[in-house]
Amino acid sequence: MMINKMTITNRSSLLFYILCGYLFLYIERPWEIWTSLAPFHLERIYMLMALFIFTFWGRKKIRWGAHPILVLTFLALHYILSPFAFSPAAALDQGFEYFKMTVFFFLIIWSIQDEPELRKLIKVYIWIMFIYMAHSAWEYHNGRHVWRMGISRMIGVDQFANDPNTFSASIALSIPFLWFLWKTEEKKFSKWLYLAYAGLALVCVVLTGSRSGFAVTIFSIILVLIWGKGFFKKMGFLFGVAILLVGLWHFIPAEKQGRLKTLWNPESGPANALESAEGRLEGLKAGWQMFSENPLTGVGPGGNNFMGYRMAHLDGIRLQAHNLIGELLGELGLLGAIVFIGQIMVIWLMSGKKLRPCVFNEIKGGSDNLFLGSACRQTLLLLLFGGLSGHNLYRINWLWIGGWSFLCFHWRREKLLTGLREDLEKEFNVNYLKDIKP
């Protein structure tokens, strides 16, 4: 069976550029850098403008599937469960924050026209992250940092996600998509820029002094190198990564070395380093206790509900869960866990090359979305791995990889159905199937 390529356009749509602008606002957040811009609420005004244009834009494509429905269900749960929350107001606030992320998710899956345009969007995401890292590194050079755990630690230039652990995790989660662009890039100059990105990313992660960020970054490098390789190649790449780490270790500042050593030798660092690790276990226990006391609904969406309930009814400590399992079960209970795990499973299936073997075996020349599917799966694993030591339930990356996987799956299915229609018309020498649309 022969499958024809979908018709693609070289010209990006208006909504594409609007999405790129919102990506920049979401990551760089200029109103948090130059606080004089804060009263103007640039993000809200920009999103309202985007929605207005989208409403009257003729090229939108309303696409539905299991994953978008699960995203809407998860959003609805925030409002359905709010009356049962420790603080209903805090639950509604968290629901509104997730609503904004959901709007962006639907704009992506309903506005992006084809595979080249999606690749451009991911490329823009990487360049914005490059700007974000470079800006943060410059500010660190100028003295902007936090003193924590006995060392100076680099932070993001914004306020929303500038914590050393959060900042380093954002960098680590971009690595699979950097690798995707590298594998599908034809311009040598762009590849040099990707190498510069990788170098800057490693420097920033080390300067944050984040143990979890360092671990997720190393895991991301290992994942992209060994993904899809045979046993001996995997062993070779692992050996190569080990040699590289040994070589790079001598260039890491001594204070950062001492911090990172506590990953495998907790006794080598200050007492608060060990307390930090134990605090994550305590957060998991607190989340499980909340789930035991409120199994169906949890104590309500959002960190304020988790911390408030924990302080009032459990151990009196006003701290987050610092792990995904405790956060999910403690805040949203069984209902939220079912829907969220459903999202994870659907993303894994949509981005997998074995879900529709006939598509992947027959389609030739359209391998970009195969690499992108791998990058989405790798990022999903990184999010789950990072969730062992961080509360990342409300990271927008969950929605990004879900949306990108959904689009790739949708286009693969379109290619299959279009090819089947053309082959049947040719086989029977009729054209009555022309009205059947994918």
pLDDT over 80 (residue 194): yes
pLDDT digits (tens, 9 = 90+) for 14-55: 889 999 999 999 999 998 888 888 888 888 899 999 999 999
Which is nearest to 174 in space by CA: 353, 14, 386? 386
Q: CB of 397 within 8 A of CB of 379?
A: yes
> For the residues 382-409, what does the mean pLDDT come to?
93
Sign of CA dihedral 75, 80, 83, 85: negative
Q: pLDDT at position 71, please? A: 97
pLDDT (0 to 100) of residue 422: 60
Report if pTM > 0.75. yes
Which of 109-113, 116-120, 149-153, 172-176 has the lowest average pLDDT? Answer: 149-153
Residue 114 to residue 411: CA distance in whole angstroms: 8
Alpha helices in 59-187 (DSSP H): 66-80, 88-111, 115-141, 164-184
> How big is the chain, counted in residues?
438
Rounded (5°) CA angle 337-341-346? 150
Domain residue ranges in the chain: 14-435
Q: Which of 11, 416, 390 is nearest to 170 (CA)?
A: 390
82-102 tens-digit pLDDT? 999 999 999 999 999 999 999
Mean pLDDT along residues 271-290: 80
Nearest CA to 173 out of 400, 408, 405, 397 is that of 397
